[in-house]
Structure 1
């Protein structure tokens, strides 16, 4: 049976991809194609749980940010009672954008076209000329802002456009165990430090999501200057040591790099290490204490990286954490959002040092960021060519590898860190969404 709304060419490609991914084949066409992009808006971003904001970005009553799920602009606001709401940023009268600022504080939103007024919790409370124009017949309770279903984990606010989507807890499927390395580094949890960086780049969001699902293979090549200059507390020879873990069928994956001989939790202040022994479980402590680099992606497009940055050779350096969102804005084009995440109860000196390390490495002009984007932009350009439409890529690293039986965390875990198991899981999940249950 033909897939409704899908061309024969794309339908055939998706069917072949569904069979090919388990064997290690992924078509180049998916990284830069208009029909693929439009289908993603409907079937991936229209169904999945997508990251919207961190609770620390809207700490006070009235605080709000505007973010996106696919091509839907969303207001995420904390009301006067402290409850968080998400609504489509569109006036119900004629569709004007309600809030034109990316962040701020407001108890109400007033449309600049006809003046309808909404509370920050979404209710319509003000209609100009209500008596004269509407003869008091408009039922205001029926015309509030369009509500978006939300839930949160560890301060991360997610939204879904699908009213029938599974719960966020089920969607994460055990990946919470690994998210805690980013979110529970202290008893008070984590918070964003400084406003997010964001910029537009000519690259496909999926390339970035794949990379941050645990691509340890590219690091000694793309970021080789980091080894030569001593920014890494390891060498290219030891970088592949560690574990790759994914949640089968969910698309989430993480790479946990390990440097033998380094002390537990190196790069963190002692006060923070003590807090982690209270905030993390024994299994998490066993795993995370050995971890040098933790790079993970929550399907579809939310990524994290923890890494120590050494400013002098041999120095364990300071740990920083970047949280990243790859927002699609067109075929082969995305808007990048990047935050620095720090433990809320960490010493201020450490927060400042971590932010400096984050900015140097993965801020908008960060050295490692530039390495990645140069490659990602070129990949996107090349995969959009006419000849590339018929090309497959090999994803066969670790194809016959057996999962570890005594791994302390949930999911499918293998070693070493350099493998493509996580990517095959990512693409299997992606094509399932794209085929909408076929």
Structure 2
């Protein structure tokens, strides 16, 4: 039986969803216990969520531990070379099984009572099996709790809902844009070093929105980047480009364009040629015009590619950051940030790209500090008592029509500075929270 409190909240969520269609979103959503609890129960328990990049676990026995919502997951490369994901909890009394964030192990042994599992999840060892269980325990029935996994171009996703649609259907055509980050060159991409990893007093949704194509903040929050020559654009041209979203699925990307920026600028010439060969003609047409590509896979995985000048005024080097915003409480999250590089690029380029990423969007990166200072203050304000009935405007581009000449999929509008992607993001978020996904 649904309580009056539950009904009241569900009614409120229906109102929020209607408000999103009209270009409004409630400030309280960025720091609210009820909203956080609903996200855990209705969103992260059903959506496809990023777990790891395949290059993080290249050899049999390699593993990392990651999260889907509040569930800690072991993601491992098995002895047969496939990828397995299991809840990081012993089936005997619930102890955390694997206490390291990454490593290599063919088996995991519980430190409490010694139950032992293959890294694929099968229970293979039980102390005092004969004396204690007298044949009553069937090991094959007590393996680790398995998590459904699938992958795209090196990205490993997990889903806790066995009835959810396939990952391919979930991405819904956004693969076209993901390829720009993931299929650079003939051999795809790989992570360069372990992820930066820290906890911040910031709501995950603020970050997901920002990276779904918020070019509006760049000339203000990162103004120094223009003034000192770190950007190959200016404040007057930065808004040019496209905002592309997959209607009804929440994914969105901002594609910034500068009139004088060379095709595939910031990549070495030989790598640029290999990239062209790995893309479709439509992708080459789109990507060759893009200076900055910043996008979010719903709900909480984002990417950014841009050139960055290590020496102000000189031509930049392209880098890619991949980032995951893991919620750990209302208004609080755990941040994971990787640098992606093309597998078949030269070591010199990989190192230059990693250095550019570190200076710009590493844990102590210049742009990262700008963003987190603002995001933390937004989160703090969203938790105050006076904002309960305060909405934010999301009305940019309400009347924008699709750019019919754009060869990429989804709803694509101009300019890049636009709220269309955000309305799509929040509409999907609301669909999950009202239980209609």
Q: Please, what TM-score do these two structures have when normalized by structure 1?
A: 0.98
Who is 2:183 aligned against?
184
State the distance in 1 between where 2:313 and 2:203 align. 36
Q: Is the 8 A contact 1:230 1:311 kept in 2?
A: no
The CA deviation string for residues 179-215 of structure 1, in whole angstroms up to 9 with x for no partner, is 0000001110000000001100001000000000000
Residue of structure 1 equivalent to 2:13: 14
1:270-349 superposed matches below 5 A: 270-349=269-348
Contact 2:228 2:313 in 1 (8 A): no
Give the Cα–Cα distance (whole angstroms) in 2 for the partners of residues 311 and 351 of structure 1. Answer: 14
Deviation at 1:271, TM superposition (A): 1.5
1:310 Cα deviation from its structure 2 partner = 1.2
Q: Tell me, in whole angstroms, the C-alpha distance in 1 between the residues paired with 2:241 and 2:3.
A: 44
In the alignment, which residue of structure 2 is the partner of 1:108? Answer: 107
Determine helix, strand or coil for the equivalent of 1:198. Answer: strand
Partner of 1:412: 411
Contact 1:209 1:301 in 2 (8 A): yes
The 3 A distance-change label for structure 1 pair 369 and 356 is same
Alignment of 1:205-224 (within 5 A): 205-224=204-223
What is the root-mean-square deviation of aligned Cα atoms in Å? 1.2
SS in 2 for 1:7: helix
Corresponding residue of 2:255: 256
**Is contact 2:267–2:317 with CA below 8 Å preserved after alignment?**
yes
Does structure 2 retain, via aligned residues, the 8 Å contact 1:257–1:294? yes
In structure 2, the residue matched to 1:202 is 201
1:33-112 correspondence to structure 2 within 5 Å: 33-112=32-111
What displacement does 1:112 show?
Answer: 0.2
Shift of 1:8: 4.5
Preserved CA contact (<8 Å) 1:202 1:332:
yes
Q: How does 1:116-131 map to 2 (within 5 A)?
A: 116-131=115-130
Q: Which runs of 4+ in 1 moved over 6 A?
A: 2-5
Cα contact 1:401–1:414 (8 A) shared by 2: yes
Asked if the contact 1:74–1:89 (Cα under 8 Å) also holds between the matched residues in 2, the reply is: yes
Instruction: Report the CA distance between 1:4 and its aligned residue.
Output: 6.5
Whole-Å separation in 2 of the counterparts to 1:63 and 1:46: 26
Deviation at 1:16, TM superposition (A): 1.0
Structure 1 residue 437, shift from structure 2 partner: 1.5
Q: Which residue of structure 2 aligns with residue 30 of structure 1? A: 29
Q: Contact 2:108/2:119 (CA < 8 Å) preserved in 1? A: yes
Q: TM-score, normalised by structure 2?
A: 0.98
Tell me the equivalent position of 1:431: 430
Aligned to 2:368: 369
The DSSP-based 3-state class of the residue aligned with 2:100 is coil
Shift of 1:15: 1.2
Gaps of 5+ in 2: none
- Residue 189 of structure 2 contacts residue 341 of structure 2 at CA under 8 Å; is this kept in 1? yes
Q: Using the alignment, how far apart are the partners of 2:285 and 2:2 within structure 1?
A: 47
Per the alignment, residue 147 of structure 1 pairs with: 146
Q: Structure 2: how far apart are the matches of 1:264 and 1:45? A: 38
Residue 13 of structure 1 and its aligned partner are, at CA, apart by: 2.4
CA distance in 2, matches of 1:101, 1:136: 33
Specify whether residues 141 and 179 from structure 1 end up closer, same or farther in structure 2 by C-alpha distance, changes over 3 A only: same
CA distance in 1, matches of 2:313, 2:407: 30
